[in-house]
Structure 1
């Protein structure tokens, strides 16, 4: 028994590290409701939308997992997928140092993308982590000389969430760098790189074909707006050199100014790790690598790394947000790989300690940021509940209103409400987290009433012909903020009414 445990000691250590840091960073989120934004779609009925933005395998997955957004179930599945991916990564890179494994597991577990996903798009949490796992499995299969199977998992990754393609690319680049550092023939590494490109392209083509067939069969049109794919590959109005530069700059900007607690210190730590990796590479090129071809290929891969982990920015021509940038956390895997190449002398020992301190700072600040984010969402949930109960009260006090029978329209942008205020003390909690309430776009007013308050609603949407009448109404909670326009009972919760009018 002891021998079996020792045989899988590294894997068990990885699992323990992942579980520990997920609990201290995200544990509060896992055991609370905190529905907000898109996750107010507690019952995932709008599956055609997922097809239209190319996430074609999510509806099939929901048939297995269930349509309801059950927090503990989603959390368990998300952590399972994430843990499996980290075990594969540790094995692929042959990491043995327990401290290095713990640092890597922690930094990826408390990655800002993971926090933002759980804080604002929790209903997608397990599917995003499944995309991460598929990307990792695809790379692992490629390393086991199964590029066709690897391409299948790249296809699956794209169908769950396209943004994790750049995680696979980042892992491949780092693996090729490790091969060269271990003395493998550069020509063979170069050939392997070409094969990996073929695998990625094959998986992408298969994904595109399957998506086109499904859209045709279901009669769904590919979305041409936010999160849409219709403009992918069209660079006719784009300066490609400028876009390449912006792709690099976006990564550097996110490393320099990350969304986290004490972001300036973490940004400095990130830059220090990047510079330490670059300096170590130059030292290796000058002292350990003898072949010029190996030197050149190592340098090219190092320079391609930031572009590779942000290739979705290039593909989408700049449409990227925090939920799409998990791959930026591979900076820490890069740092770990180069730390392992340092000689064990006194000078290099202090460099290691400095790198460990930098990574430890990132872990500490990201754990704090995650818990602050979830506290903020929990408070926003209470504020939203109080607001929406009062809105329902205004509806019910209006003569002629019958719940579930009278058409209603809740209009106005909450940030333009006289009641609106950002929460004091949460100035550093920014990015994808909401500002004050868990309702963030016009349909979420109805979703909150229907799915959280369990209140009967007959939705109605005003037209531009109603603009003058709506503009003349005072804003909630003033007298007259709830009134009939035609047959529709309108509640104006914000002074600016744009997106609600069709």
Structure 2
């Protein structure tokens, strides 16, 4: 019956369906991804949200993540859920690899060197590192990335009604898992408009407007489908939306200009929500952006397209930084803040230059000042991109080192605390244990491992010092996971006990008398 040969034939057909550059991009993602993230894939690092969600996917329907809710329901009925780093991490890299393959195909990349870089930067960009601190839902988030890229590719392939509807549906699925990758779809559309003008694929203002408004309509349609499904699923489940980062506070259109300014300021500040906390990363990113602007200017001037079309194309370029940072526009609440989990749209800062370099390779320049300056600037850009890629790999590993140190120190700290609780005079294992002032814990014996604060170079979301872990209210889950301590008898004080005269008279931990049995309960005064 030749079962194995049929399987081999099927694999061969699949392989032949993809170009060499697409395969190169996938391999690059896997290789660079393992170098950048092998630390966390093969060492289980768990605290904060991951400790609380070892067997769940975190917020789903209540956060508007209805597709994530579907995945949760299906897995709970079948495989169950486990925050397993090797499986979740490798599957995440595969999805990033597929997204890179789509981008290579979508923008017609012909150079394997260019494809390799696209794959590498997409996998080592520290947003991936931030998401890997949420290992319990990592592969689902990167499925959202893949869907966001796929939504753009479907519509860029053809502006037909069928593709429009399909693209909007796929985008809604992406939003139903994680909304921050919306920026990737927006940036892909805006970049395609610019490249369309440079390649003379868009030769009239009408064509530019038609494509632009079609892309905008698709984005609105995708959001609309997502919003309708959000309402329906929450109604069916009988749950209410959570107030996440103040996003349910309502939207003030009067503050929209201020949010746009924040978006542009974030882009041209080059910090990328803490990713580029180090000066050299900001400097090389700035070099990449400046040279990209120079390349775009040179190519627009040299383009044989109509002057009016080239001028109109500047509209898309102006909106590109805002599109990459659209997450800054999602809320006008004072509680809302953008962190390093949410800025993957900035990946086009590093990918767009690759598209332009390929286009420059195909152009003939006469010997002269413009050719020399463009060549020098491009080589500086290539060097900057190489430095950033290696720098991000190094930063990723430093982040995981910081996380492991913090986890080990927090485990040791809580081990001592639990031992002291159980050694308290009058302690019984059936007593309620009340933690008072948890978030205000201040222990003078705590020490840093880096005297000159080198770990502050890592300012990625969810990569804290151990002092942040032990003052985190949800650390009861950390103790449950790492110490097997913290059952239903553990209570976090809501202020009731802190107001009592006896507790106010107690010193704070680890001073003598900070743990005491009062009225049949163990009171642990961690802070004022």
TM-score under structure 2 normalisation? Answer: 0.86
Relative to structure 1, the CA distance from residue 441 to residue 210 in structure 2 (aligned partners, 3 Å threshold; closer, same or farther) is farther
Relative to structure 1, the CA distance from residue 5 to residue 209 in structure 2 (aligned partners, 3 Å threshold; closer, same or farther) is closer
User: What is the CA-CA distance between 1:11 and the residue it aligns to?
Assistant: 1.7
User: What is the CA-CA distance between 1:174 and the residue it aligns to?
Assistant: 0.8
Alignment partner of 1:455 is 2:498:
no
Relative to structure 1, the CA distance from residue 436 to residue 462 in structure 2 (aligned partners, 3 Å threshold; closer, same or farther) is closer
User: What is the CA-CA distance between 1:386 and the residue it aligns to?
Assistant: 0.7
Aligned partner (choices 281, 285, 288) of residue 270 of structure 1: 285
- SS of the residue aligned with 2:434? strand
Aligned partner (choices 476, 484, 487) of residue 446 of structure 1: 476
Q: Is the 8 A contact 1:180 1:294 kept in 2?
A: yes
Relative to structure 1, the CA distance from residue 56 to residue 249 in structure 2 (aligned partners, 3 Å threshold; closer, same or farther) is same
User: What is the CA-CA distance between 1:190 and the residue it aligns to?
Assistant: 2.2
C-alpha distance in 1 between matches for 2:195 and 2:408: 50
Worse overlay, 206-215 or 407-416: 407-416
- SS of the residue aligned with 1:377? helix
Who is 2:300 aligned against?
285
Who is 1:499 aligned against?
none
Q: Which runs of 5+ in 2 are unaligned?
A: 1-8, 366-370
User: What is the CA-CA distance between 1:28 and the residue it aligns to?
Assistant: 0.9
Who is 1:218 aligned against?
237
User: What is the CA-CA distance between 1:279 and the residue it aligns to?
Assistant: 1.4
Relative to structure 1, the CA distance from residue 426 to residue 5 in structure 2 (aligned partners, 3 Å threshold; closer, same or farther) is same
C-alpha distance in 1 between matches for 2:506 and 2:108: 66
User: What is the CA-CA distance between 1:478 and the residue it aligns to?
Assistant: 1.9
- SS of the residue aligned with 1:279? helix
Alignment partner of 1:18 is 2:33:
no
- SS of the residue aligned with 2:229? helix
Aligned partner (choices 388, 393, 407) of residue 414 of structure 2: 388
- SS of the residue aligned with 1:375? helix
Alignment partner of 1:430 is 2:459:
yes
Q: Is the 8 A contact 2:426 2:517 kept in 1?
A: no
- SS of the residue aligned with 1:426? helix
Who is 1:483 aligned against?
516
Alignment partner of 1:465 is 2:518:
no
Worse overlay, 408-417 or 319-328: 408-417
Alignment partner of 1:149 is 2:149:
no
Q: CA RMSD in A?
A: 2.5
C-alpha distance in 2 between matches for 1:256 and 1:397: 48
In the TM superposition, what whole-angstrom CA distance separates every residue of 1:198-233 from its partner, at most 9, and x where no partner exists? 11111111111111122222222212242x53235x
Relative to structure 1, the CA distance from residue 195 to residue 40 in structure 2 (aligned partners, 3 Å threshold; closer, same or farther) is same
Q: Is the 8 A contact 1:112 1:260 kept in 2?
A: no
Q: Which runs of 5+ in 1 are unaligned?
A: 497-502
The number of aligned residues is 488
Alignment partner of 1:168 is 2:185:
yes
Alignment partner of 1:320 is 2:338:
yes
Who is 2:396 aligned against?
370
Alignment partner of 1:409 is 2:434:
yes
- SS of the residue aligned with 1:413? helix
Q: Is the 8 A contact 1:37 1:440 kept in 2?
A: no
User: What is the CA-CA distance between 1:416 and the residue it aligns to?
Assistant: 2.1
Alignment partner of 1:60 is 2:76:
no
C-alpha distance in 1 between matches for 2:113 and 2:351: 13
C-alpha distance in 2 between matches for 1:305 and 1:373: 29
User: What is the CA-CA distance between 1:97 and the residue it aligns to?
Assistant: 1.3
In the TM superposition, what whole-angstrom CA distance separates every residue of 1:116-163 from its partner, at most 9, and x where no partner exists? 222x32223222211111101111111233111111111111111111
Q: Is the 8 A contact 1:54 1:229 kept in 2?
A: no
C-alpha distance in 1 between matches for 2:392 and 2:196: 31
TM-score under structure 1 normalisation? Answer: 0.90
